[in-house]
Amino acid sequence: MKIVLLFISVAAMSFVMGWFASDLWSSHLSYLETHETEELVSTSRYSDPVQNINNDFPVEPSDTTSPSYIAQASAENTVETLVGKKPKTAAQKFSALLSSANYDEAILLYQEYENVNKPKVLVELKDLFLSHLEYLITNNEASDFSQASDSFLSAYYNDVDVLLLLANFNQINGFYIEAVNVYQLTKSYAYDDNDLQKISRSFNQFVQNSDAFFAQNEDWLSLSNLYAHIDSSGLLTAQYEYRHAVVYRNLGDKEAAIDQLEPIKNDSVVGSKARQLLQELLEQDSVPINNNPWRNASRVALAQSGNQYLVGLGIGRRDNVTLLIDTGASLTTLSRDSFTALSSGVDVREIGSRLFQTANGVTKGTVYAFSEIKIGPYILKNTPVAVLDFSLSSNVDGLLGMNVLGQFRFQIDQDNVQLLLSRK
């Protein structure tokens, strides 16, 4: 009897211990699964840093065809394929998409966190995105910058931070007129004092840097054109009006300098300097400063359309296009249809894509280098021309921008409907 009781006790104890051990092992596995650290090894084309966010991705939607589900799956598959690990945090997933240039999917991921109201995560992802754009600018990754900023602005067209980086990108690449256009657009989206101050600081730095560049090269005509465009954009302050007057004086256009100084001679900031320069100019009345610079200029016939002017441009040796003169366009542009209609013999080379400020907002276009274009008697080599999806009137193929006009001293003779051109 004692043997039987002993046997039963041992069996019961074995069962309890086995159950306890099994439960302990299951708990241990669960702990490992829950706390497993998945290290993300960078395989990016870029070396911009990955910041850490301690927030997991929200619960996946059941619809596997939804954009947010596809974006998440693509982000995980990209990294898992490359390193055999899945990114765990929001920052890692977002950075993986940025690093692999999957910008549309990165913005879908960003919107997913916006939809589930994760403001702290959005701030950190936004910082990651801005850092990535700055990296692309610094390393002259123009095509990727255009794709990234276009993807973001397609969803958040009025984002001041990204627009300011776009203006900076345009300045660095020599698109000064386009930069002014972006600043004008950005200012219209400034909804609070913080945005206004941010825009003002950036714009002032842009003007100072641009002025210094052109002044160093004594390119007073280009600098005058820049200030004129700033004025037409409604961004010219008294300080820059005075500077424009100085530029006019350096060009020898005393009358224009005086006209620029008169309205600001009593300004609280630059009034004393304006009065002094005004007096100097008025004392030179007997000296002929401006001696008709257009006497030997080439004259190109124009067609008038309302208060605008059209000019013919030769492309290669067989094609001609009609362009609207637009001093507010940094690059000469063609519509996609007009570009497609060019003959197959036209020698062009694709440079890359970039963003442009148009009447309909910011849009992406492709820039090509045309081996030869002709305006009047002048032939220009390797001229950049942007191709955009836009439509003008039936007889207009695009816009003649400052990258062509800026190579000349130019003026529109409205009385004779002619474009006056002379080399700088």
Q: Tell me how far the alpha carbon of residue 394 is from its chain's centroid.
A: 29
Give yes or no for residue 21 having a pLDDT over 80: no
Nearest to 58 by CA among 153, 131, 103, 122: 122
Query: What are the pLDDT digits (tens) for 93-112?
Result: 999 999 999 999 999 999 99
Quick one: three-class SS letters along 39-92? CCCCCCCCCCCCCCCCCECCCCCCCCCCHHHHHHHHHHHHHHHHHCCCCCEHHH
The whole-angstrom separation of Cα 314 and Cα 322 is 9
Q: Which helix (H) or strand (E) element contains residue 8?
A: helix 2-35
Tokens representing 128 are 């990651």
Percent of the chain whose pLDDT exceeds 70: 77
Percent of the chain whose pLDDT exceeds 90: 58
List, as one string, the DSSP characters of 261-290.
Answer: HGGGTT-TTTHHHHHHHHHHHHTTTTS---
Give yes or no for residue 330 having a pLDDT over 80: yes
Angle between helices 271-282 and 238-251 (to 10 degrees): 20
**Beta carbons within 8 Å of 92's beta carbon, 6+ residues apart:** 40, 50, 79
Nearest to 303 by CA among 219, 149, 417, 216: 417
- 338 close to 321: Cβ distance less than 8 angstroms: yes
**Beta carbons within 8 Å of 70's beta carbon, 6+ residues apart:** 64, 105, 108
Which of residues 405 and 21 earns the better pLDDT score?
405
Query: What are the pLDDT digits (tens) for 341-398?
Result: 998 888 999 998 888 877 667 888 999 999 999 999 999 999 999 999 887 777 899 9
Q: What's the whole-number average pLDDT of the chain?
A: 81
Which of residues 294 and 69 earns the better pLDDT score?
294
Q: Tell me whether residue 268 is exposed, middle or buried, using C-beta atoms within 10 angstroms of its C-beta: 0 to 12, 13 to 18, 19 or more.
A: exposed
How high is the pLDDT of residue 357?
A: 78
How high is the pLDDT of residue 9?
A: 47
Identify the weakest region by mean pLDDT among 48-57, 253-262, 319-328, 408-417: 48-57
The whole-angstrom separation of Cα 111 and Cα 105 is 10
Query: What are the pLDDT digits (tens) for 294-325?
Result: 778 899 999 998 889 999 999 988 899 999 99
Split at pLDDT 50, 70, 90, the class of 285 is low
Query: What are the pLDDT digits (tens) for 70-79?
Result: 444 444 444 4
How high is the pLDDT of residue 380?
A: 94
Single-letter code of the amino acid located at 64: T
Q: Which helix (H) or strand (E) element contains residue 225?
A: helix 220-232
Distances in Å between the Cα of 128 and the Cα atoms of 31, 98, 134, 422 are 31, 9, 10, 48
List, as one string, the DSSP characters of 336-355.
Answer: HHHHHTS-TT--EEEEEEEE
Q: Tell me how far the alpha carbon of residue 109 is from its chain's centroid.
A: 21
Tokens representing 336 are 């996609």
The mean pLDDT of 43-56, rounded to a whole number, is: 39
Which of residues 163 and 289 earns the better pLDDT score?
163
The mean pLDDT of 60-70, rounded to a whole number, is: 42
The mean pLDDT of 80-84, rounded to a whole number, is: 45
Angle between helices 119-138 and 142-155 (to 10 degrees): 150
